[in-house]
Chains A and B, each alone.
Chain A
């Protein structure tokens, strides 16, 4: 139980506030702390991820060149800055880029990439983990 909730209940027990007032105070407390549910066993809100990590670990003789490892760490701030810079690209250039990407088999619409939607994307990236396990290679993509 959180300290603030305990204090509200103590105030109710002492008769300093009515049951209605206590309920309102608890509701306000929950509004301020939406990550805490009624079950107090839940951990605190996870810190926001700072990096996108790509880790590849391939076994010996994978690809014929012996064992290989790739360890890439890219700050998510770079993603934000990149999208903001890309938003300056004129629409006609984006249209051309879209056409070329579609020709290469990547039907991605760059005009739909808006900096405003980026925060939501990054928040969801935090929960994303890609794990590929094969006998001769292991690939992991995650945020930390």
Chain B
């Protein structure tokens, strides 16, 4: 299953916090025209390199789906960044 939500939390040195929740599917839908262009470019690149575009698409999709559960949390002094993919 593809990731549904990406949450990003940033805290800067002055203690200001920013937390953003990004719903993946709506963002993909908004970006669909750009995505279509990217897919066409990727397919042409695959054909140039003699890679099956369908295989590449399938495996890229699996990679995207496998991102669920990824979490990066880095904290240094009073600054921190958290990226959580669910």
Contacts and interface: CB of A to CB of B under 8 A. Distances in A.
A37 B78 CA distance: 51
B70 A68 contact: no
In which size bucket is the chain A interface?
A: 20 to 34
A85 interface: yes
A88 B47 CA distance: 12
A75 B65 CA distance: 11
A73 interface: yes
Main secondary structure of the interface of B (DSSP, over half): mixed
Nearest to A92: B49
Contacts of A93: 49
Interface string A73-92: 11101101110110010100
B51 interface: yes
Interface residues of B, number: 24
B56 interface: yes
Residue among B51, B66, B72 facing the most chain A CB atoms (10 A cut-off): B66
Interface in A44-71: 50-51, 65-71
A113 interface: no
B17 interface: no
Interface in B23-73: 49-52, 55-56, 59-60, 62-63, 65-73
Interface of B: 49-52, 55-56, 59-60, 62-63, 65-78
Interface of A: 50-51, 65-75, 77-78, 80-82, 84-85, 88, 90, 93
